[in-house]
Chains A and B, each alone.
Chain A
Amino acid sequence: MLDVSIMADVLPPMLKSLGMTGKLAILILIVGMLLAVPLAFARNATSTWLSLPANGYILIIRGIPALLQVFLVYYGLAQFEIVRSSFLWPVFRDPFFCVILALGLNSAAYTAEIISGALRLIPKGLVEAAHSMGLSWFQTQFLVTLPLAMRAALPAYENEIILTVKATSLASTITLLDLTGVARLEVTNTYAPYEVFLTAGTIYFCITTTLSWALRKLERRLAIENLKAVDPGILAKAAVAAHG
């Protein structure tokens, strides 16, 4: 039977490790989003010089396991003398940085796919209206298209957030003490895998469930039911007004 006292014992160190899990998730999502926006625009670009590399990147990243990408960055790069002798070595030697880089690059591909899909949903009339009001390409994209696309992308992005929180568990394979890492450590201390992993699983479940509940509330406030119903003229005017 389950030994509740072991579960109570391992709970405090596990809860402490949540700081690491949270930090990883947030930084991975930030790196992923920063790379995903230019990737999404490149993917939708009419120029093959832009869309081909973006499509290739997304295809390759999505065809390879995330854990392999983590190993490639953490163990792989150390092979090269150039990396080891460079001033960046302290950074590439650090598992924390490597996980964020590897999973950030990974998340970027999935997020770019979501955003580029949402960008394609934006009615052409909006872009035309923005142009006719004298907005530049950058102004059109960042004041009109992107904000709308982000809202349309929210349901799919919510899923990506949950997947990222779960993916942080991969950090435990390269010695980081996130929730899964601490759980592994506690198993070797207590020899009680059931109790420890069930506790860890329950904590993860509580986090992801709360998170997806909160995100769904946000989504209900921000989501756009029907993009076609948005009046292009009003939006473009609003964008110009907001811009001053």
Chain B
Amino acid sequence: MTLFSGYTYQLFTGALVSLSVTFFALIFGSVLGLGLGAAKIYGPHPLRYIAEAYTAVVRGVPDLIVIYLIYFGSTVALTKLTGAYVDVNGFTAGVFALGLIFGAYASDIIRAGIQQVARGQKEAADALGLSKRIAFFHVILPQAWRFALPGFSNLTIILLKQTSLISVIGLEELLRASAVVSGSTREPFYVYAIAAFMYLVMTTIATVLLRWAQSRANRGFA
């Protein structure tokens, strides 16, 4: 175990990379999910079907396949496009792939959240002469948020764990860092156990924070 002191830094750096992938994928995925969710409710027919089909496809395909497709696929596409060999950064590909997956699941949660907002709210907004856009962003969405938050929290925890999949395309996040460290310490069990503990701490803290956000969103309600 004394071997670790020098490698702890590497594991912590890896954990930070995992967290930043989570953060950026969360932002990208939420925006995508909001767009898709709105398209599923308000969109004209072709758009609605495209959004539904998108969710169905992502649901039916393993995350690893999506990650490989984005990573290797974008390398090939960009190389063809620019004529020179382009090495796509694992971080960008990872954020993009996980965001695409997150958005597909989030869209269903956001849709359900919007649909749970009492109908009278929309009617009241109409009666006050609010434009559709204002009514959506200032009346419907803030209330839908409260309903969507539990599902959104689940997805965020899943996303945090999914970042480990990015290790397969070489990004040195926590799992890849553990693999590298265990290669030099020859104590893979201890290294992976420490990584497991770090994941557990991250998911637990995220769970606690999201619970707090939920109780805050529900203040004033029973």
Q: Which residues of A are in contact with B by a Cβ distance under 8 Å? A: 60, 62-69, 71-72, 75-80, 162, 166-170, 172-173, 180, 183-184, 187, 192-194, 197-198, 200-201, 204-205, 208-209
**Contact B196 A72, beta carbon cutoff 8 Å:** yes
**Contact A198 B175, beta carbon cutoff 8 Å:** no
Q: Is B16 an interface residue (CB 8 A)?
A: no
Q: Which residues of B are in contact with A by a Cβ distance under 8 Å? A: 56-57, 59-66, 68-69, 72-73, 75-77, 161-165, 167-168, 175, 178-179, 182, 186-190, 192-193, 195-196, 199-200, 203-204
How far, in angstroms, from A170 to B61 measured CA to CA in the complex? 13
Q: What are the 4 A-B residue pairs with the smallest beta carbon separation, nearest first?
A: A193-B72, A76-B189, A65-B164, A169-B62
On whether A180 and B62 interact (CB within 8 A), knowing A60-B200, A75-B182, A197-B69, the answer reads yes
In the complex, what's the smallest C-beta–C-beta distance from A174 to chain B, in angstroms?
A: 11
How far, in angstroms, from A180 to B66 measured CA to CA in the complex? 11
Q: A193's contact among B57, B73, B193, by CB below 8 Å, is which?
A: B73
Please, which residues of chain B bring their CB within 8 A of the CB of A166?
Answer: 61-63
In the complex, what's the smallest C-beta–C-beta distance from A71 to chain B, in angstroms?
A: 6
Please, which residues of chain A bring their CB within 8 A of the CB of B64?
Answer: 169-170, 172, 180
A-B contact pairs, 28 of them (CB 8 A): A60-B200, A62-B203, A63-B203, A63-B204, A64-B203, A66-B161, A69-B196, A71-B188, A71-B192, A72-B193, A75-B182, A76-B192, A78-B188, A79-B188, A79-B189, A167-B62, A169-B63, A170-B64, A173-B168, A180-B65, A187-B68, A193-B68, A193-B69, A193-B73, A194-B69, A194-B76, A201-B66, A208-B60
Please, which residues of chain A bring their CB within 8 A of the CB of B203?
Answer: 62-64
In the complex, what's the smallest C-beta–C-beta distance from A42 to chain B, in angstroms?
A: 21
Which residue from chain B places its CB closest to the CB of A79 in the assembled complex?
Answer: B189
Please, which residues of chain A bring their CB within 8 A of the CB of B165?
Answer: 65, 67
Please, which residues of chain B bring their CB within 8 A of the CB of A79?
Answer: 186-190
Please, which residues of chain B bring their CB within 8 A of the CB of A208?
Answer: 59-61
**Contact B69 A201, beta carbon cutoff 8 Å:** yes
Which residue from chain A places its CB closest to the CB of B167 in the assembled complex?
Answer: A67
In the complex, what's the smallest C-beta–C-beta distance from A39 to chain B, in angstroms?
A: 18
In the complex, what's the smallest C-beta–C-beta distance from A155 to chain B, in angstroms?
A: 15
How far, in angstroms, from A56 to B126 measured CA to CA in the complex? 50
In the complex, what's the smallest C-beta–C-beta distance from A23 to chain B, in angstroms?
A: 16
User: Which has the most chain A C-beta neighbours within 10 Å: B57, B61, B165, B178?
Assistant: B61
How far, in angstroms, from A194 to B54 measured CA to CA in the complex? 18
How far, in angstroms, from A169 to B68 measured CA to CA in the complex? 12
**Contact A197 B73, beta carbon cutoff 8 Å:** yes
Please, which residues of chain B bring their CB within 8 A of the CB of A205?
Answer: 57, 60-61
**Contact B162 A65, beta carbon cutoff 8 Å:** yes
Please, which residues of chain A bring their CB within 8 A of the CB of B63?
Answer: 166, 169
User: Which has the most chain B C-beta neighbours within 10 Å: A76, A169, A194, A198?
Assistant: A76
